Amino acid sequence: MKVDVILGLQWGDEGKGKIVDVLTPSYDLVARFQGGPNAGHTLEFEGNKYILRSIPSGIFQGGKINIIGNGMVLDPDLFKAEIDSLEASGHGLTDRLYISRKAHLILPTHRLLDQAYETQKGNSKIGTTGKGIGPAYTDKISRNGLRIGDIEEHFEEKYKQAIARHEAILHSMNFEYDLKALESDWFKGIESIKRFKLIDSEHFINEALKSGKKVLAEGAQGTILDIDFGSYPFVTSSNTVCAGACTGLGVAPSAIGEVYGIFKAYCTRVGSGPFPTELTDSTGQRMRELGHEYGSVTGRPRRCGWIDLVALKYAIMINGVTQLIMMKSDVMDDFDTINLCVAYQINGVETEDFPFEINDLTRPIYAELPGWKTDMTKMQSENEFPEEFNAYLSFIEEVLGVKVKMVSVGADREQTIVRYTD
């Protein structure tokens, strides 16, 4: 069997959580492959809303096994908070959430370092989620990280060494902090992690594939936040792209099946960094209000703008996307006209290729299509789609060269229209 991958094609928050939840019934295992509590994946069903940060979005459907993969970074304190809140709402997970021994730990000092580095950058700060993601991955790559498997043996000593190294950096930066206040919850979180099955997930997943099980890999963030291919340095610190599913779960590239690329009918971005189609006017404000575009983790207002087909085409290329999923089309229900960025103009030269660097000089060139001016939120099938919406879909499919398999017309699990089955 193959691993199907779901990942974001824009700047994150495309609606990955919702779609993982919708697709989970067709899979045996769901595994997150990168990122950590910088993610906020929202699921809505039966009148309830859940926001998951480190726990995969397959936990609400039919007792499927969910895995925190080796490519992730896990903050014990935030993990415990997430588990506690799920348990309080009647969702016990102990027997079906497994954690890779090779996933890395976010230490309390990683969070402090994240804040210290951001403060040091001043006006050029990344606008991180402040969850210690960058420093934790930095330690992983510089071979100083602590892994989940380390908590099983001689942990205190390894922890102390790492903390001493981090404190030396924090002191050198004259950063003031109160580590003790963070440590007690952090260690409670470590105990919480120990309640779960710690596994060598690469073996587990490959055995599952061999025995005919279907695996769904859940990405976090989005392609334009990828450490290699995103709008560097305004990116996150992991490979959010499809290749990240291979390294983040230990599966071979040949084991990848469908690659589901998720995008919004418009664009959003949280934090700093270039955003060619950003609208800072009342239209952008309207998108923000209609789409409730406020960060699910930080509550920060998300920057909004028109859909960017140049960036999407690039993301499809990097990920080898086989099927597209369009989210939040309902947010566009009442617009008279809709713009789609089909090229960039850079220094007077027009290009349809995503350049080395996008910046303030990258000007979007738009095609304009008529809006559909119809409430689509209660639609059940594509037969009900207005003519203008079909024209909009066809335009996107033509430019991108990939079919849109599903259209999401609202936040609820039920508000999902599948246009064709494979």
Q: Please report whether residue 302 would count as binding ligand GDP according to CB under 6 A.
A: no
3-state helix, strand, coil in the chain (%, to 5): 35, 25, 40
Q: Are 354 and 313 contacting, i.e. CB atoms less than 8 angstroms apart? A: yes
Q: Please report whether residue 320 would count as binding ligand IMO according to CB under 6 A.
A: no
Q: Please report whether residue 56 would count as binding Mg ion according to CB under 5 A.
A: no
In whole angstroms, give the CA distance from residue 327 to residue 191.
Answer: 38
Give min distance, CB of 304 to Mg ion, in A.
15
- Would you say 22 or 251 has its CB closer to ligand GDP? 22
Site string for ligand IMO, 119-148 (x = CB under 6 A): -------xxxx-x-xx--------------
What's the CA dihedral at 114, 194, 18, 422 to 10 degrees? 120
Q: Which of 4, 13, 139, 330 is catalytic?
A: 13
Say which residues have a Cβ less than 8 Å from residue 11's Cβ, sequence separation at least 6. Answer: 221, 222, 224, 225, 267, 268, 269, 270, 275
From the list 170, 192, 190, 188, the residue with the least C-alpha distance to 179 is 170
Parallel, antiparallel, or unpaired: how do β-strands 337-346 and 362-370 relate?
A: antiparallel
Q: What is the CA radius of gyration of the chain?
A: 21
Q: Please report whether residue 331 would count as binding ligand GDP according to CB under 6 A.
A: yes
Site string for ligand IMO, 44-73 (x = CB under 6 A): ------------------------------
Q: Please report whether residue 82 would count as binding ligand GDP according to CB under 6 A.
A: no
Catalytic residue list contains 41: yes
- Would you say 69 or 149 has its CB closer to ligand GDP? 69
Residue 184's Cβ-side half-sphere holds a number of Cα atoms within 13 Å equal to 3
Interface region with Mg ion, contact rule CB under 5 A, candidates 9-17, 62-70, 78-86, 206-214:
9-17
Give, as ranges, the residues between 31 and 50 that touch Mg ion (CB under 5 A): 40
Q: Please report whether residue 39 would count as binding ligand IMO according to CB under 6 A.
A: yes
Q: Please report whether residue 411 would count as binding ligand GDP according to CB under 6 A.
A: yes
- Report the run of H or E that residue 299 belongs to, with start and end: none
Q: Please report whether residue 8 would count as binding ligand GDP according to CB under 6 A.
A: yes
From the list 88, 11, 44, 46, the residue with the least C-alpha distance to 314 is 11
Q: Which of 41, 104, 110, 166 is catalytic?
A: 41
Q: Per DSSP, which regions of 106-255 are E strands?
A: 197-199, 215-218
Q: Please report whether residue 18 would count as binding ligand GDP according to CB under 6 A.
A: yes
DSSP annotation string for 190-225: HHHHHTSEEE-HHHHHHHHHHTT--EEEEP-S-GGG
Q: Please report whether residue 231 would count as binding ligand IMO according to CB under 6 A.
A: no
Q: Please report whether residue 271 would count as binding ligand IMO according to CB under 6 A.
A: yes
In whole angstroms, give the CA distance from residue 273 to residue 28.
Answer: 38
Site string for Mg ion, 268-297 (x = CB under 5 A): ----------------------------x-
Q: Are 100 and 203 contacting, i.e. CB atoms less than 8 angstroms apart? A: no
Q: Are 41 and 52 contacting, i.e. CB atoms less than 8 angstroms apart? A: yes
- Would you say 18 or 131 has its CB closer to ligand GDP? 18
Q: Which of 32, 131, 328, 405 binds ligand GDP (CB under 6 A)?
A: 328
**Which one of ligand GDP, ligand IMO, Mg ion, none interacts with residue 199, CB within 5 to 8 A by kind?**
none
Parallel, antiparallel, or unpaired: how do β-strands 307-308 and 337-346 relate?
A: parallel
**Which one of Mg ion, ligand IMO, ligand GDP, none interacts with residue 134, CB within 5 to 8 A by kind?**
ligand IMO
Interface region with ligand IMO, contact rule CB under 6 A, candidates 193-201, 214-222, 317-325, 405-413:
214-222
Q: Which amino acid is at 185?
A: D
Interface region with ligand GDP, contact rule CB under 6 A, candidates 10-18, 106-114, 174-182, 362-370:
10-18
Q: Are 39 and 55 contacting, i.e. CB atoms less than 8 angstroms apart? A: no
> Residue 130: left if φ>0, alpha if ψ -120 to 50, beta else—which one?
left
Q: Please report whether residue 13 would count as binding Mg ion according to CB under 5 A.
A: yes
- Would you say 44 or 226 has its CB closer to ligand GDP? 44
Interface region with ligand GDP, contact rule CB under 6 A, candidates 200-208, 323-331, 336-344, 381-389:
323-331
Catalytic residue list contains 13: yes
**Which one of Mg ion, ligand IMO, ligand GDP, none interacts with residue 308, CB within 5 to 8 A by kind?**
none
| Residues making contact with ligand GDP (CB under 6 A) | 8, 12-18, 39-42, 44, 291-292, 296, 327-328, 330-331, 408-411
Summarize as ranges the residues that interact with Mg ion (CB under 5 A): 13, 40, 296
Where in the sequence numbering do the catalytic residues fall?
13, 41
